[in-house]
Chains A and B, each alone.
Chain A
Amino acid sequence: MDNLELKRHANEVRRGVLIGTHAAGAGHPGGSLSAADIFTYLYFEEMNVDPANPKDPKRDRFVLSKGHTAPGLYAALAEKGFFPKEELTTLRKLGSHLQGHPSLKCTPGVDMSTGSLGQGISAAAGMAMAGKLDNADFRVYTLLGDGELEEGQVWEAAMFAGAKKLDNLVVIVDNNGLQIDGPIEEVNDPNPIDKKFEAFKFHVINVDAHDFDALRAAFKEARDTKGQPTAIIAHSLKGKGISFMEGQVGWHGKAPNDDEFAKAMADLDKIEEGLK
């Protein structure tokens, strides 16, 4: 898929994030938007998944370790065709299959229940380990927040993945630099992120999270890396694509109101115009 098509899908994923969180009156748009291009690249280019057969044992797996950005994952799954886009408006509502945080029992295409930070990367490492035991070809991808790296379990999982040489595992860090209480450097500075993963025996790639050529090269490099897992440190912009959300920590866990929603959709309309 060429970059233009990827950008169109990413724009639709961003629309889905806004539609979901606006309808819910809650949720986490900031980190969903910073990861929108990553979701898009994974589901439309990188991963072997089939919306018609979401439980195929041979499929690639994705674990959203930063589970609070479920609106982004759901928007990508809907864009890919796992369920109708109309259902995005049921996000977080009673009876919806779109729970506030991902639940594998509820949503087609969700491979692991997450939400409690630090646990998803471990589950992903377990999937990769299972794949190794079975000599299976599937690959496992997990997306973490940079604030999430403050959870000790992340490094337990990283140690395991490095020690067991899980080269079928790709850990992606959505490095947008902001967590609820402020800039990551000010809260409990997890930097240097790349050096840490290197120390845990990962092959590390730093990449611009919003550059599809760079993402393409990084995921190819990960695929070509043998004998060790790969960490892709994706340098991103929180709220990417929405003028008044970009770089604003206040949009970590706040939904747009009607006016803000209209303004945000207008931003995306403008982007869409440029992609024609």
Chain B
Amino acid sequence: MADVKKIATRESYGNALAEVGAQYPNMVVLDADLSAATKTGVFKKAFPDRFIDCGIAEGNMMAIAAGMATCGKLVWASTFAMFASGRAYEQVRNSIGYPHLNVKIGATHAGITVGEDGASHQCLEDIALMRVIPGMTVISPADDVETKAAVRAACEYDGPVYLRTGRAGVPVINDNPDYKFEIGKGIRLKEGGDVSIVATGLMVNSALEAAELLAADGIKADVINIHTIKPIDKDILVKTAQKTGKVFTAEEHSVIGGLGAAVCEVLAEECPVKVNRIGVYDVFGESGSAGALLVKYRLDGKGLYEQIKEKM
């Protein structure tokens, strides 16, 4: 797959902001001194008057975003996932979540594929932290196409959204005319009756690769892309669980509290089947290239395939 087009979802995010900026005159973008990395700099260049650099003060930025939203602004507040969901957790909860304000949190650099910066910057807990906030929508897009669609959908939706993107390039997998993004609606990417692979973010690509390898072994996988972790698509989860009776979740996040946990919560109540959560197993990350880390943590296509085989 050497010639596959790869784009980092943070890139897609920054481009999408600039693309929709003209459509939403009330839209403003806030950043905390990371606009070159989060790619909000693309918006800044296109709409300098609607870009506000809050400096290195993420908690303050979130509450500023909240204040602006009360005045009718459609606010995107951006920083790394670690700081957006971790450092500024309580500001997000109390100043954005509690009053259910129209703030979109553009959290880039999620997961281990932050790479060389290491564990201090590799947020593996953000999905868990954000989805426990009442009324928070949590979206983790898989590729360029999905990220841009998610930005548009988030702009149309009135309420707080956490949008999780990554630093490393990921293959474009949704570039087809039938692709349709709807908040809260999972997407079946592959039909199969033997096992279900429910994935989010860049793990959707790994899931597709793992499904190919499983197919070579005669195992047909139902591959589901859960781009919206909250509200989660119960229907698609129950249907795939009923069909295969065996569910694997895959996420570039801790197995505690993230997609796997969300899927378990649904299936335990609606359709109890065995679920194996594949992700980062309650450890911190480390420095290394994104690719090498995905291999080490067995989250690339081959690693995922092997983990599924071992647990089957």
Residues of A within 8 A of B99 (CB): 103-105, 112-113
Complexed CA–CA distance, A214 and B100 (Å)? 38
Complexed CA–CA distance, A126 and B75 (Å)? 11
- Indicate whether B63 reaches chain A with its CB closer than 8 angstroms: yes
- Least CB separation from B94: chain A residue: A116
Q: Known contacts A103-B99, A104-B99, A130-B72: does B67 contact A123 (CB below 8 Å)? A: yes
User: Which of A105, A134, A157, A164: most chain B CB closer than 10 A?
Assistant: A157
- Indicate whether B112 reaches chain A with its CB closer than 8 angstroms: no
Residues of A within 8 A of B50 (CB): 133
Residues of B within 8 A of A160 (CB): 54-55, 57, 60, 64
Q: Known contacts A113-B94, A116-B90, A133-B49: does B63 contact A157 (CB below 8 Å)? A: yes
Complexed CA–CA distance, A103 and B95 (Å)? 10
Residues of B within 8 A of A116 (CB): 90, 94-95
Residues of B within 8 A of A134 (CB): 71
Q: Known contacts A119-B91, A160-B60: does B55 contact A126 (CB below 8 Å)? A: no
B67 touches A156 (CB 8 A): no
Q: Which residues of B contact A (CB under 8 A)?
A: 28, 49-50, 52, 54-55, 57, 59-60, 62-73, 90-91, 94-95, 98-100
- Indicate whether A111 reaches chain B with its CB closer than 8 angstroms: yes
Q: Closest approach, in angstroms, between the C-beta of B25 and any C-beta of chain A?
A: 10
User: Which of B55, B63, B68: most chain A CB closer than 10 A?
Assistant: B63
Residues of B within 8 A of A112 (CB): 66-67, 70, 95, 99
Residues of B within 8 A of A156 (CB): 55, 57, 59-60
- Indicate whether A125 reaches chain B with its CB closer than 8 angstroms: yes
- Indicate whether A34 reaches chain B with its CB closer than 8 angstroms: no
A133 touches B70 (CB 8 A): no
User: Which of B64, B65, B94: most chain A CB closer than 10 A?
Assistant: B64
B67 touches A125 (CB 8 A): yes
Residues of A within 8 A of B91 (CB): 119, 122, 153
B71 touches A127 (CB 8 A): yes
Complexed CA–CA distance, A123 and B67 (Å)? 4
Q: Which residues of A contact B (CB under 8 A)?
A: 57, 61, 63, 103-105, 111-113, 115-116, 119-120, 122-131, 133-134, 153, 156-157, 159-160, 163-164
A159 touches B57 (CB 8 A): yes
A129 touches B98 (CB 8 A): no
Q: Closest approach, in angstroms, between the C-beta of B87 and any C-beta of chain A?
A: 11
Of the A-B pairs whose beta carbons lie under 8 Å apart in the complex, a sample of 8, sorted by A's number, is: A57-B71, A112-B67, A122-B60, A123-B95, A126-B66, A127-B70, A129-B67, A160-B60
Complexed CA–CA distance, A115 and B94 (Å)? 8
A103 touches B67 (CB 8 A): no
Known: A123-B64, A123-B67, A130-B73. 4 other contacts (CB 8 A): A112-B99, A119-B94, A124-B67, A130-B67
A159 touches B70 (CB 8 A): no
B64 touches A126 (CB 8 A): yes
Residues of B within 8 A of A126 (CB): 63-71
B59 touches A129 (CB 8 A): no
- Least CB separation from A104: chain B residue: B99
Residues of B within 8 A of A122 (CB): 59-60, 62-64, 66-67, 91, 95
A163 touches B67 (CB 8 A): no
Instruction: Pick the residue among B57, B73, B90, B100 that contacts A105 (CB under 8 A).
Output: B100
Complexed CA–CA distance, A103 and B72 (Å)? 18
Complexed CA–CA distance, A164 and B64 (Å)? 12
Q: Known contacts A133-B28, A160-B54: does B66 contact A153 (CB below 8 Å)? A: no
Residues of B within 8 A of A104 (CB): 70, 99
Complexed CA–CA distance, A27 and B95 (Å)? 21
A163 touches B90 (CB 8 A): no
Complexed CA–CA distance, A169 and B72 (Å)? 18
Complexed CA–CA distance, A153 and B54 (Å)? 12
Q: Closest approach, in angstroms, between the C-beta of A122 and any C-beta of chain B?
A: 3
Q: Known contacts A130-B71, A160-B57: does B94 contact A123 (CB below 8 Å)? A: no
User: Which of A57, A61, A112, A163: most chain B CB closer than 10 A?
Assistant: A112
B66 touches A123 (CB 8 A): yes
